Structures are given as structure tokens and as C-alpha cells.
Chains A and B, each alone.
Chain A
Amino acid sequence: MSIEDIIKPENLVYQKSKLLTEKPFHYCPGCGHGTTHRIIAEVLEELGVDEETIGVAPVGCSVMAYDYFDVDFQEAAHGRAPALATGLKRVWPNKVIFTYQGDGDLAAIGTAETIHACNRGENITMIFVNNGIYGMTGGQMAPTTLEGMKTATTPYGRKATLPAGAGFDGIPCNGYPLRITELIAQLPGTKYVTRQAVYNPACVRKAKAAIKKAFENQINGKSGVNFVEIVSNCNSNWKMEPVAANKWLVENMLPFYPLGDIKVDGKLVEK
């Protein structure tokens, strides 16, 4: 059977979602943002809510997310996407509202908005892409950066406390990596909290199922934040090739940021 016989519309098993525009992503080759965009678009298309959806774009690498989705979008000030989503949801309770944020946006400058939106129990979906670094501004240390990880602002590796010697040992230095997903799972206002990844096909399928559940919870529920963290790569600022960056993610990020559900239907999952 020749390739021409296989490539026919009736044999189609996978194609890019129609909810993504034709504009090519500006992300670096191999970036997890692209995969995450793709699965969000697929979920919205499967749920058939594209006309009812309003996304909130952050500041960071994904600042131009509104160019790529064929749904309504609003741009938020840095870190303020949950506050904007709160307003949108309260004005239009029947719309499907989601925020799409990176770790510099959600876990650093926007920590207050994140925690208070989660504590108020707003009926929104939050997608959090965690790559452990400030990508767009050139690879500075983020709160989620792992201990020992080299970045532009921690060239000798992140140190929680100053190293021994000269009488400074034990004095705070760069601090500890922040697991904000576990932090907000403790709040009674969150309904569904999970951590997923997109480095291989199995993970992408699980992440898609989690995002679908997060949107379904919002559509069927009345309150409670649905929060999906995606552990992603940043091959440009980790200074690796895309495939090597995914391998590094599995070996270093996942032991500190373990994958799986943390809270389901308002109850913490026991591990």
C-alpha cells in the first residue's frame, strides 16, 4: 500500500486542533508551551465550548497566547491573571474562564492574586506552566528554580543558605524552591489540583485528561478553583537541546515536582 493510499481524509487519526490559528508559535523549538497550547485547544474543541471561553494571558513567554487560540482572550498585568479571571467570571458566570500562566507570573509576582483567588474559591480553571526559570527575560532564577540549578542570576547554582566557611554558613541566600501547587492544595477554595508533564506521549495524554477534568469541573460546578500544573522544559535557558532538556526534566525536576493528582473533588489525595 503506497503512502498516497494511506493519506486520505477517512484515515485521519490525528491533526492540529482547529482552535489553533495558523500563526506559527514564537516559542523556542521543543518548548512545552506549544504542547500545552495544543492540548488546551483540543480539550476546548472536544467540549464544544470555544464560543463560551475567555482565556486570560499572562506576562512571560506565553504573553502572546491570544494570537494562537481562536477563542476570546484578555491580557492581564504581570501576575494579575487570577484577579482578572475573577472579574470575568463574576460578570459572566456562564462563560468558561481559564488563566494560562508561567512560574514567574503565577508563583512570583502574582503569588498574592493566586493565593487569594484560590482562597475565595472562584469557579475558574488555572493552567500553570512550571519550567523553573524566567524564560522570556533571559533565564534568571525563579522561586521554582531547583537547588543547585545554574541560572543567569545564580551562576554557581541556587543555594538556599550560604555555604560553610568565613562564618557565614546557615545564613539565608537564594531560598528554597517553591512548591506552590502543594501550597494552594491546602486551601479549602480549591477543588481539583494536579501536576502533570508533557515530555512524552503518555504524559501528554494524562495532562490532556487532567485539563479536560479541570474544565468539566468548572462547567458543572459552582465554586472551587481547578488548578493544573504542567512541569515543562526551557531548553534555551537550561542551555540544552530539546531532547536532552526533556531527559534532564525527568531526572531532576520530577523528583522534586512529583506528577499526579494532589486534590480531587475538594479532598486531598493520600499518598
Chain B
Amino acid sequence: MASFKGAIVVNTERCKGCGVCAANCPVGVISLAKEVNGKGYNYAYMAEPDKCIGCASCGMVCPDGVITVYKVKL
């Protein structure tokens, strides 16, 4: 079975920290940071980057379009 490895880039200044991406990540990669961005929101980040499979579920549900997803086939 082919396996995939992914990574996401979050536009932290645009992120509003709603947490919908973290709730919909099938492998639990995303968490909300303890730090805040310029607007005072706890932005999303890849807490466990090794688990990411690049499924783009986070990008599909993000209400602010802050997530860019990359994927490679191993």
C-alpha cells in the first residue's frame, strides 16, 4: 500500500483559532498554539508533523482559507 506524507503551512496572522481544522483532522496532527497572533487568536499549528498524511481535510473546512497543504508519495 502506498503511503503518503504531508505537511501544512498555516497563515498564522490570518488564522482565527476556531479549532475546526483540529477537530476534523483524522490523525490529530493539528493543535492550537499557546502563543497568540497579532489579533490575539491562538493560531493552529502542526503539533505532530510526523503523523500528517496530506489529506487536505483541514484545508477543506478552514473558514478563513489559511491552510496550504502539501503531500508526497513515499
The residues of A with any CB-CB pair to B shorter than 8 Å are 1, 3, 5-8, 11-17, 20, 24-25, 27-35, 38, 198-201, 204-205, 241-243, 246
**Best-surrounded residue of B5, B7, B14 (most CB of chain A within 10 A):** B7
A267 to chain B, nearest CB (A): 30
When the two chains form their complex, are residues B19 and A242 in contact, meaning their CB atoms are under 8 A apart? yes
When the two chains form their complex, are residues B23 and A6 in contact, meaning their CB atoms are under 8 A apart? no
Q: Using C-beta atoms within 8 Å of the partner chain, give the interface range for chain B.
A: 20 to 34
Other-chain contact of B60, A5, A20, A204 (Cβ < 8 Å): A204
Other-chain contact of A201, B9, B14, B60 (Cβ < 8 Å): B60
**Best-surrounded residue of B19, B24, B63, B71 (most CB of chain A within 10 A):** B63
Closest A-chain residue to B16, C-beta based? Answer: A29
The residues of B with any CB-CB pair to A shorter than 8 Å are 5-7, 9, 14, 16-20, 23-24, 41, 46, 49, 54-57, 59-72, 74
Closest B-chain residue to A22, C-beta based? Answer: B14
Q: How far is the CA of A12 from the CA of B7 in the complex (A)?
A: 10
Q: How far is the CA of A81 from the CA of B50 in the complex (A)?
A: 48
Other-chain contact of A200, B6, B17, B24 (Cβ < 8 Å): B24
Interface of B is mostly: mixed
Residues A31 and B63 in contact in the complex (CB < 8 Å), given A1-B72, A24-B14: yes
Q: CB-CB < 8 A to A200: which residues of B?
A: 24, 61
**Best-surrounded residue of A17, A28, A30 (most CB of chain B within 10 A):** A30
When the two chains form their complex, are residues A6 and B19 in contact, meaning their CB atoms are under 8 A apart? no
When the two chains form their complex, are residues B7 and A6 in contact, meaning their CB atoms are under 8 A apart? yes
When the two chains form their complex, are residues B56 and A20 in contact, meaning their CB atoms are under 8 A apart? no
When the two chains form their complex, are residues B74 and A14 in contact, meaning their CB atoms are under 8 A apart? no
Q: CB-CB < 8 A to B16: which residues of A?
A: 28-30
Q: How far is the CA of A96 from the CA of B19 in the complex (A)?
A: 35
When the two chains form their complex, are residues B7 and A16 in contact, meaning their CB atoms are under 8 A apart? no
Residues A241 and B49 in contact in the complex (CB < 8 Å), given A13-B56, A33-B63: no
When the two chains form their complex, are residues A35 and B62 in contact, meaning their CB atoms are under 8 A apart? yes
Q: How far is the CA of A15 from the CA of B65 in the complex (A)?
A: 8
Q: How far is the CA of A11 from the CA of B19 in the complex (A)?
A: 25
Q: How far is the CA of A193 from the CA of B24 in the complex (A)?
A: 28
